[in-house]
Structure formats: structure tokens, C-alpha cells
């Protein structure tokens, strides 16, 4: 079994055995892999009281210090407290916050991403990283962000990349072993993992404290923007538990950056790759943009409901290469029986979202990129399961609480890029187009395309400089 691409291995084993559930043991610890969306709904949603906790792996919680992030906390009071703080600001019912976030998304796209693509399109990955990560820092902490290569964005991206590489499902076996050896003396051969874990812990402390303190300082100087941290602190003024509450806000803010940036960037990069590989689909999206928006203005949030073909393309992007192919592992809090199978207490449960969205019984020819599976005669189909709804963002009580933020951001970035630019193949030294073979990173937590060459050039019928002239500048966003 290839642990780095466990989603495909689990899928192949499931097909071979004709099994929707797989059972493994690692040092006596039961591991359950769910390959079927209906099984996932039955267990993780209908029996969520049993399947909503997280396994606590000693090296990750005690040595590295990841137990401060509510995404990996066990189900209980502390998890509920942090999730409640998140929902009070970011929840779908918070209309004023939603409007502010949408406006700030557009600022980062128009002032950062698009002008940078005009000047240095070859660094499109860096520009996407700065735009998406910068937005997350701005919303979480109210901090200004440089239009290119912001140092704080780069540091936070680096640390969260290390966290994902260390704690992803592919490292489950390694982390079990490391936890067993955690108490060995530092001088013994083979104990180097402890030094690496402590170094990552120091980086996590800087990641959590640095932007938080910077945001507080700006707030005291009355020069910060609206933010999750300041708004949440102002709402809670009880002196009895103010320190505990402030620490929860601090830790939740850092989790927002990690969750929002990694998944959104991976989705947009996959979108760029699919447009490069499918020029006919790209042109159809551009025709729709021309029809709905016209050549004289930029896309806005209010345009999204009318961009039905783009919606089908985004849904197919999420299905074709799921951004989180294997879910963050869960743990059963009591024993259970499902369809005649006994599931022990304390079992680690992994959801294979990749297998669900590549199920050929639901999505025929799943390896092909076919947006038309979601749209017919100009109308989105309701008889084909929507990846946004059924699996992409998880299940039950552990479903991603920020999906309603990520999806509009993806739509706005995708629409804005194709409104102004063509995504074309790069050429080799002889002038021939380079054929890009899609390859994706191993499953740490998110899956994104490896760097690939392409040309992002202004559309011939667009005056990009004119459309962006009011947004071009050097001051931070």
C-alpha cells in the first residue's frame, strides 16, 4: 500500500474486495477506512455522537503542541467552545461579516492577484498564495498585507505546510510509532524526531502569537481593519475567564488561516490546471462571463448565481481532484455495529473522499474532466450529487465550518482570472506547446498540482490595464 497516495490504494483495495468499509490494525489499533458516501452519511452524520471525536496521538499533541487547534481536538467542551467562537463571527447567518469578507476578497483579487499576473504571470503560484493567504490574515487579525511576497504570509504558509506534512493521514503509521518512542532519552540513536518535533512546536508558537499580538497592537493604535480577533475580544468582557477566552480566540484565528488558505489555494491551482488542459471548456466559461458581465467591468459576488457553467466547472474541479482526498482521522467514542460489522471503541476512522467523488456508479468516466455532468440545457442538474454538498467539506459535526467562505472566494478568483486572461500552454525552445501531465502532491492534508508551466496572458479583447487602473499601487492591502 502506498501511504503517500493512500486514497488511491484504499480505493483499489475496496474495489478488489467489493467492500465499502476497510479494516486494518496498526500496533493493535483498529483503523476503519470508509470508501462509500452513503456509509459515511450513515456513520458520520446519523451516528455523529459516536464518530465525531479525534484520535489523540501523543507526539502531535504533547510534543508538537497541535492540541490547541479545534480542528484536531477531541469532541468535548473545549472543541465546542472554540467552534462556537468561530461560528459567532464566521457563521452563515452573520450577514454583515459576510459582506465585509466578500468586499475584502475583491480587494485582494483586484489590488493584489490581477495586477501581479499582468506584471509577472510566471509566478502565478506565488501570487495566488499571497492573495489567498493575505486575505486570511486580514480577516483573522486586521493586519495590512504587502501586495507581493508578504513575509508574514510566507512564514505562516511554511509552518502550516510543515504541520500538514507531519500530521497528514499518510504519516499516521509514523506518528503512532513516534508516540511509542516519545519517552526515549534524547541521546539515544533514532531520537532525532523529537528534536524536529520541538522545532516545529517553536514555529507553531510564533505562528499563533506573532500575528495575534501584531493585530492587538494595531487595534490599540486604532489603525487595524475589522477582524475576527478584535470583534470577538470586544464581545467578551467578563473578567472571570478573560484569559481563557482570549487564548481560544488566538488559537482559533490561527486555525482559520491554515484551513482557509491551504484548501482554497489547492482548489484554484487545480482549476488553473484544468483550464490549461481543456481549452474548449475555458472558452465556454469566458463566453458566459462575456454574456453576464460584459467587457467593461469586473466580476462581483452578485454575478455568481448567474454563472451557471462556471458553477459546473467548479463542481467538477472539486470532484476531479478532491482538495482533501483523505479526511482528518476521527475516533469512535464507543463500540458500534454497522451492516453486520463490529467497529471497536477507539477505532481510527478515515473517510476516503477521493473514492467517493471518483465513484463511477455516481460519476461515469470519473477520471475525465466533464463539467457537463452537472449542467444540462443551461440548468444545473439536481439529479447528480453535488460534490460541494455531499463530500468535499466533510460530514456531520466535523464538517468544515468555513466552506461558505471558501466557495465564493474560489468563484471570484476563477471568474476574475478568466475575465481578463487566457491560460495557455507554455512553449519549448522550438516553439512547440508543452504538454503538461497532471501530477498531484502526496496526501498530507490537502492535494494540489505540482508546479506546471503555463502562460497567463491578457485576453485580446480586454483592456486589462484600464479595468485595473484604479487598483494598481504599492501600498499594502
115-157 pLDDT tens trace? 999 999 999 999 999 999 999 999 999 999 999 999 999 999 9
Closest C-alpha to 248, from 83, 64, 20: 83
Torsion of CA 124, 126, 132, 134, to 10 degrees: -140
Instruction: Tell me what the mean pLDDT of segment 251-268 comes to.
Output: 91
Is residue 113 left, alpha or beta, with left meaning phi > 0 and alpha meaning psi from -120 to 50? alpha
What's the grid cell of residue 460? 485580446
Q: What whole-number distance in Å separates Cα of residue 448 and Cα of residue 265?
A: 8
The answer, yes or no, to whether residue 249 has pLDDT greater than 90, is: yes
Grade residue 2 by pLDDT with cuts at 50, 70 and 90: low
Neighbours of 455 (CB within 10 A): 17
Question: What residues contact residue 98 under an 8 Å CB cut-off, 6+ apart?
Answer: 92, 404
Nearest to 181 by CA among 365, 90, 98, 189: 189
Tens digits of per-residue pLDDT, 371-414? Answer: 999 999 999 999 999 999 999 999 999 999 999 999 999 999 99
β-partners of residue 456 are 423
- According to the annotation, is 400 in a ligand binding site? yes
What are the phi and psi torsion angles at 224 (to 5°)? -95, 160
Predicted confidence (pLDDT) per residue in 63-84, tens digit:
788 888 888 899 999 999 999 9
CB 124 within 8 A of CB 212: no
Cell numbers for 218:
494595531
E strands within 385-447? Answer: 421-424
Phi, psi for 8 (deg, rounded to 5): -75, -35
| Burial zone of 153 (CB within 10 Å; 0-12 exposed, 13-18 middle, 19+ buried) | buried
Q: Look up residue 192 and give its three cell numbers.
A: 532525532
Of 225, 12, 224, the C-alpha closest to 100 is 225
Average pLDDT, the chain: 91
What domains can be seen in the chain, in order of their start residue?
Answer: 6-468 (1.10.630.10)
For 345-383, the DSSP string reads: TT-EEEEBHHHHHT-TTTSSSTTS--GGGGEETTEE-SS
| Cα distance between residue 195 and residue 395, in whole Å | 36
pTM metric for this prediction: 0.94
**pLDDT tens per residue, range 423-476:** 999 999 999 999 999 999 986 688 999 999 999 999 988 889 999 999 998 899
Contact indicator for 301, 412 with CB cutoff of 8 Å: yes
Amino acid at each position: 500500500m502506498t501511504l503517500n497516495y493512500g486514497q488511491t490504494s484504499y480505493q483499489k483495495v475496496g474495489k478488489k474486495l467489493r467492500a465499502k468499509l476497510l479494516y486494518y490494525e496498526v500496533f493493535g489499533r483498529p483503523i476503519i477506512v470508509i470508501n462509500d458516501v452513503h456509509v459515511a452519511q450513515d456513520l458520520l452524520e446519523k451516528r455523529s455522537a459516536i464518530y465525531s471525536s479525534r484520535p489523540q496521538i501523543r507526539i502531535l499533541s504533547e510534543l508538537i503542541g497541535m492540541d490547541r487547534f479545534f480542528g484536531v481536538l477531541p469532541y468535548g467542551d473545549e472543541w465546542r467552545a472554540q467552534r462556537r467562537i468561530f461560528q459567532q463571527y464566521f457563521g452563515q447567518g452573520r450577514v454583515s461579516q459576510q459582506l465585509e469578507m466578500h468586499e475584502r476578497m475583491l480587494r485582494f483579487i483586484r489590488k493584489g492577484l490581477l495586477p501581479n499576473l499582468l506584471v509577472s504571470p510566471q509566478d502565478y503560484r506565488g501570487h495566488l498564495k499571497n492573495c489567498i493567504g493575505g486575505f486570511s490574515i486580514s480577516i483573522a487579525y486586521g493586519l495590512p498585507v504587502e501586495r507581493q511576497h508578504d513575509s508574514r504570509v510566507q512564514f505562516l504558509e511554511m509552518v502550516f505546510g510543515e504541520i500538514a506534512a507531519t500530521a497528514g493521514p499518510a504519516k499516521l503509521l509514523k506518528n503512532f510509532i513516534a508516540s511509542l518512542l516519545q519517552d526515549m532519552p534524547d541521546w539515544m540513536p533514532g531520537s532525532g524526531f523529537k528534536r524536529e518535533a520541538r522545532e516545529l512546536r517553536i514555529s507553531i508558537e510564533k505562528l499563533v502569537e506573532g500575528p495575534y499580538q501584531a493585530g492587538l497592537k494595531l487595534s490599540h493604535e486604532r489603525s487595524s481593519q475589522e477582524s475576527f480577533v478584535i470583534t470577538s475580544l470586544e464581545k467578551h468582557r467578563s473578567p472571570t475567564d478573560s484569559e481563557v477566552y482570549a487564548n481560544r480566540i488566538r488559537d482559533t484565528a490561527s486555525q482559520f488561516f491554515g484551513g482557509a488558505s491551504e484548501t482554497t489555494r489547492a482548489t484554484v491551482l487545480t482549476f488553473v490546471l484544468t483550464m490549461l488542459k481543456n481549452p474548449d471548456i475555458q472558452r465556454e466559461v469566458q463566453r458566459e462571463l462575456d454574456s453576464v458581465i460584459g467587457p467593461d467591468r469586473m466580476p462581483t459576488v452578485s454575478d455568481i448565481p448567474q454563472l451557471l457553467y462556471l458553477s459546473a466547472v467548479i463542481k467538477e474541479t472539486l470532484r476531479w481532484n478532491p482538495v482533501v482526498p483523505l479526511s482528518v482521522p476521527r475516533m469512535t467514542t464507543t463500540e458500534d455495529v454497522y451492516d453486520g460489522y463490529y467497529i471497536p471503541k477507539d477505532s481510527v476512522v478515515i473517510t476516503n473522499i477521493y473514492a467517493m467523488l471518483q465513484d463511477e456508479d455516481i460519476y461515469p468516466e470519473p477520471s475525465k474532466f466533464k463539467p457537463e455532468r452537472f449542467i444540462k440545457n443551461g440548468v444545473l442538474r439536481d439529479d447528480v450529487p453535488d460534490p460541494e454538498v455531499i463530500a468535499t467539506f466533510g460530514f456531520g459535526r466535523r464538517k468544515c465550518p468555513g466552506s461558505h467562505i471558501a466557495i465564493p472566494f474560489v468563484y471570484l478568483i476563477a471568474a476574475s482570472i478568466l475575465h481578463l486572461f487566457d491560460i495557455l500552454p507554455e512553449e519549448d525552445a522550438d516553439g512547440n506547446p508543452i504538454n503538461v501531465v497532471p501530477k498531484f502532491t502526496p496526501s498530507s492534508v490537502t492535494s494540489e498540482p505540482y508546479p506546471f508551466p503555463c502562460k497567463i496572458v491578457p485576453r485580446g479583447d480586454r483592456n486589462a490595464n484600464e479595468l485595473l487602473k484604479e487598483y494598481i499601487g504599492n501600498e499594502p492591502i
